[in-house]
Amino acid sequence: MRLIENWFSERYSDNLQLSFRIKDQLLSIKTDYQRIDLFDTYDFGKLLSIDGTVQLTEKDEYIYHEMITMIPYYFNSKPSRVLIIGGGDGGAARRLVDLGIENIVNVEIDGNVVEVAKKYFPAISSSFKEKKVNLIIGDGIKYIKESKDKFDRIIIDSTDPVGPAEGLFSEEFYKDIQSHLTPNGIVVTQSGSPYYQPTALSMAHNGMARIFKYVKTYCAFIPTYPSGLWSFTMASSEEFKKRDEPTVTGKYFNKDILEGSFYLPEFVKNLIK
Ligand code: SAM
């Protein structure tokens, strides 16, 4: 991360970065797990960065959060019990509450992310006030090892595969995940920018494919993430079947996106062959 004359920049490579002109830096803390920065930007409202990478902005967070929750929602049996690993901003839990999910467990490793979200992103983190949402501050990897619970969906809403999130992209973790899913349950993870982080996508896809019979990658356009093209990968032990029911339309998600986001560019297909 670089901060030059009121610009926050996320480095994508040695030769490219995306810069946001900022009105102010609202916070900068070093926690036991990571560095958290918060900026007030001109174009995207408040922006949360962890270890120099954009996690969410007020203006475009809806795309990521709709896509990580609503796509897997419409496949296989209607979910009633969902686990989120990561997601300390509350955005994924918010969408699940709006979809009418009755029982949500959200395991976030860093309580500071939750506190920052409560203070600076009250609308997004309002999910944590809901009775349906059980927020646990702890390591998602440890939780999965120790818990006996089963879930219809497991949403891995994590940072990129470095530091505390590295294990969340491992084959061993996916194996543990499988034992916590109901028979046609679905796990979904954010799998990075296919252009700038091809390894994150292949780690997620290939790791899941070694454990689960059915794996599907889909993409979305997220303007504040590296290259704008972002991937998500979901897996299940049973074939994916879209439920025959009307879809709720979000601000990004709609019935066409539910189908079209699975059509992948050739270079993305090649990464997950
Ligand atoms: N939308 C985001 C993105 O892809 O940039 C993810 C946002 S969310 C803030 C990511 C969260 O994952 C962080 O708050 C981080 O603390 C959490 N996290 C990382 N490793 C974790 C682990 N092992 N267990 C639970 N949460 C974890």
156 lines ligand 1 (CB under 6 A): no
Span(s) in the chain for CATH 2.30.140.10: 2-57
**Nearest 5°: CA angle at 184, between 180 and 185?**
45
Which amino acid is it at 247?
T
Which of 148, 166, 146, 150 has its CA nearest to residue 158? 166
**What's the burial of 160, exposed, middle or buried (CB within 10 Å: 0-12/13-18/19+)?**
buried
Alpha carbon distance 56, 66 (integer Å): 13
CA 161 to ligand 1 center in whole angstroms: 10
Mutate which of 10, 36, 108 for ligand 1? The one with the most ligand atoms within 8 Å of its CB, which is 108
Q: Where are the beta strands (DSSP E) in the chain?
A: 2-4, 7-13, 16-30, 35-41, 45-50, 53-57, 81-86, 103-108, 133-137, 151-157, 181-190, 214-221, 229-236
157 part of the active site: yes
Residue of the CA atom closest to atom 18 of ligand 1: 86
CA 160 to ligand 1 center in whole angstroms: 8
Which of 71, 70, 92 has its CA nearest to residue 83? 92
CA 138 to ligand 1 center in whole angstroms: 11
139 lines ligand 1 (CB under 6 A): yes
Catalytic residue among 98, 157, 176, 256: 157
CA 108 to ligand 1 center in whole angstroms: 7
CB 34 within 8 A of CB 108: no
Instruction: Give the residue ranges of the chain where pLDDT is below 50.
Output: none
Residue of the CA atom closest to atom 14 of ligand 1: 88
DSSP annotation of 75 reads B
Token pair of 16 as six digits: 């490219």
Mutate which of 62, 158, 219 for ligand 1? The one with the most ligand atoms within 8 Å of its CB, which is 158
pLDDT digits (tens, 9 = 90+) for 120-151: 999 999 999 999 999 999 999 999 999 999 99
Provide DSSP, 112-142: HHHHHHHHH-HHHHGGGGSTTEEEEES-HHH
The pLDDT value given to residue 5: 72
Count CB neighbours of 105 within 10 A: 19
**Nearest 5°: CA angle at 164, between 141 and 211?**
45
Q: What is the CA radius of gyration of the chain?
A: 18
The pLDDT value given to residue 2: 57
231 lines ligand 1 (CB under 6 A): no
The pLDDT value given to residue 76: 98
Span(s) in the chain for CATH 3.40.50.150: 61-271
CB 153 within 8 A of CB 79: yes
The pLDDT value given to residue 4: 60
159 lines ligand 1 (CB under 6 A): yes
SS3 call for 39? strand
Strand order in 16-30's β-sheet?
2-4, 7-13, 16-30, 35-41, 45-50, 53-57
- Please give the class, per CATH, of domain 2-57: mainly beta
Residue of the CA atom closest to atom 2 of ligand 1: 55
Provide DSSP, 151-185: EEEEEEE---SSGGGGGGGSHHHHHHHHTTEEEEE
190 lines ligand 1 (CB under 6 A): yes
192 lines ligand 1 (CB under 6 A): no
In CATH, the number for domain 61-271 is 3.40.50.150
